[in-house]
Structure 1
């Protein structure tokens, strides 16, 4: 009877988890929901999920009912430092569900008096994988529980495999969507280049030719004004095509921004520190933010000079953009004063980053972006 009840519980757990995973499209909300459901149906008290990238850097992406000792300062103990389960995972020594004798994070909490541990000292850890791909770790624990049975570990392995498969599915969908978006941008850029851009170029030439056919000063003045407008529209169209399909982004974001500055006629001073080998979403965000900042410099600063500094470490990417133009009045904490600046902030925060704006009339504008160096 005990084995039958245990088997029924396992099947019910897998059914509940599978239903959640099949309906999910957002990775992080899916992981949080699945973790909570797993703990509820198994009677375990707490758990957490790490995603671990190819560099071995981990990210806490979901947790449930962590003890106070692990939640202080925005869960700092769970987001920094080393632990035995992640270390074993990175060394390739963790391929199946395993009992971990003690949790180093909780051990440190006791040593350094971080707070109440709720009598949790041990946890089981299970790698998240799908086929040959590895994604991270599932950890679960309960007060005074120092051992997990083989049946419990087998159930956790089954759930972890389901989670790994769902992660792979979501990542494949995201890649397909990104490729479709890129293809659409390229198509739109080609259409604009082949139609509107060529029409504007023809208009510039037509107005220029018409000027040479008349000696009427009023007409020549009007044609000059039309030529200036059409040339400005042509330049705007070139910049728009550039935004849709940046030339040089395949050589890195720094190269693309230098090329874009040339299109705008801006003298750009670029300072790069560290090796730029960035996840595609991070590189895309830096490109779009830098692009908008250069546009603002061109249109509003009153100067055609700008400086960009990019600093890359294993954990963080920092980009600072500065001009010495006219600036504007802005007090930190106030509402962002323009749609373009707001979009920069939104792009940064969408990747768990930060956006800082500083500007003062007569003293230019400085923007600082910090984004974690990982897949978002």
Structure 2
């Protein structure tokens, strides 16, 4: 028994060292689960993250049998599950044996591969203090119940994982705060230096128009004034992108103010209650900014329409204009850096982007984001 206890301590020490060293969430969890499985009688495992609305996401899996791994873990990702149901109801407090798992059963019944005698699993919540993140599930061949000792070890590993998840979340939050502070500093610098210089050039050009008697000179100053005014508008838009003033008054109000600053007449239609996590709200704002910038620069119109449809699980954002449009080729090649930026922002939080455009008939941009 003493040798076995020593072995368990060694496993926990190795896992603790890995969790402390890693800074990326998924590699950290993959590494910790791999070490746990290689040093114990548990043979396979998977981790669900579960958000505050109860939506589960399979984020890590190790050594799954063919039946569970089939079609990108299709059967683990869908259907009912006792452990997730108990987790959502806050009834799962510690490591427990699962008497039956509908997801495993559905994979076996589908006959999509060898299940390697994996029929049951143990589960434990991942949490740090009162903050919960998801579930760690583990299983072994021909095992219906795990011993109290095995469950205690599982619970210790889950505690370590929960603390590490919390640490990474806190680190990411600190990085986000630092990024916002740097954006604000850069926005202030641009406003106080370049923005003011451009404004001064505009005033100088206006004075040159009034003071000059030669028409050719007047036209030159007018062109300088026009170009400087355009540069000033671009600079203000850039400052807005760095520091989105107005979000404190709500997403829709911020979008309207930004459109007005660009000289666009924006019609807004909203269906559903707009109440998003801060990251989703800022992503929606940034995407809309880029879409409105594209309309101002390329569409040749000053009217645009914005549609937001909010459901229980996602939000659909549509930005539409009736301007010049562009050709979408058969390979769906991205026509501008603006749309590439929109795709990158949407994909960063698991969203999707599509667009419909035709020369002379305008463009419709469709963005769907989960939240």
Quickly name the TM-score band, shorter chain normalised.
over 0.9
Could you say which residue in structure 1 is the equivalent of 2:172? Answer: 174
- Answer yes or no: is the 8 Å Cα contact 2:78–2:103 preserved in 1: no
- CA positional deviation for 1:313: 2.4
Could you say which residue in structure 1 is the equivalent of 2:267? Answer: 269
Could you say which residue in structure 1 is the equivalent of 2:135? Answer: 137
Provide closer, same or farther for how the CA distance between residues 68 and 276 of structure 1 changes in structure 2, counting only shifts above 3 A.
Answer: farther
Could you say which residue in structure 2 is the equivalent of 1:88? Answer: 86
- Answer yes or no: is the 8 Å Cα contact 1:332–1:358 preserved in 2: no
Could you say which residue in structure 1 is the equivalent of 2:118? Answer: 120
User: Aligned to 2:226, which of 217, 228, 237?
Assistant: 228
- Answer yes or no: is the 8 Å Cα contact 1:52–1:58 preserved in 2: yes
Could you say which residue in structure 2 is the equivalent of 1:191? Answer: 189
Could you say which residue in structure 2 is the equivalent of 1:159? Answer: 157
The whole-number CA distance in structure 2 between the counterparts of 1:72 and 1:155 is 29
Q: Which moved more, 1:144-153 or 1:77-86?
A: 77-86
Q: Which moved more, 1:179-188 or 1:212-221?
A: 212-221
1:58-97 → structure 2 map (5 Å cutoff): 58-97=56-95
Provide closer, same or farther for how the CA distance between residues 85 and 194 of structure 1 changes in structure 2, counting only shifts above 3 A.
Answer: same
Report the 3-state secondary structure (helix = DSSP H, G, I; strand = E; otherwise coil) of the residue aligned with 1:341.
helix
Could you say which residue in structure 2 is the equivalent of 1:301? Answer: 299
Instruction: String of CA shifts for 1:198-251, please: whole Å, max 9, x gaps.
Output: 222222222212322222211111111111111111111111111111122223
What TM-score do the two structures reach when normalised by structure 2? Answer: 0.94
Could you say which residue in structure 2 is the equivalent of 1:237? Answer: 235
Number of residue-to-residue matches in the alignment: 371
Could you say which residue in structure 1 is the equivalent of 2:8? Answer: 10
- Answer yes or no: is the 8 Å Cα contact 1:332–1:357 preserved in 2: no
Q: Which moved more, 1:63-72 or 1:277-286?
A: 63-72
Alignment RMSD, CA only?
1.9
The whole-number CA distance in structure 1 between the counterparts of 2:23 and 2:331 is 34
- Answer yes or no: is the 8 Å Cα contact 1:329–1:361 preserved in 2: yes
Structure 2 unmatched ranges of 5 or more: none
- Answer yes or no: is the 8 Å Cα contact 1:247–1:259 preserved in 2: no
The whole-number CA distance in structure 2 between the counterparts of 1:310 and 1:117 is 44
The whole-number CA distance in structure 2 between the counterparts of 1:4 and 1:125 is 26
The whole-number CA distance in structure 1 between the counterparts of 2:74 and 2:274 is 27
Instruction: String of CA shifts for 1:148-202, please: whole Å, max 9, x gaps.
Output: 1111111111110110011010000100010111111111112222222222222
- CA positional deviation for 1:261: 0.9
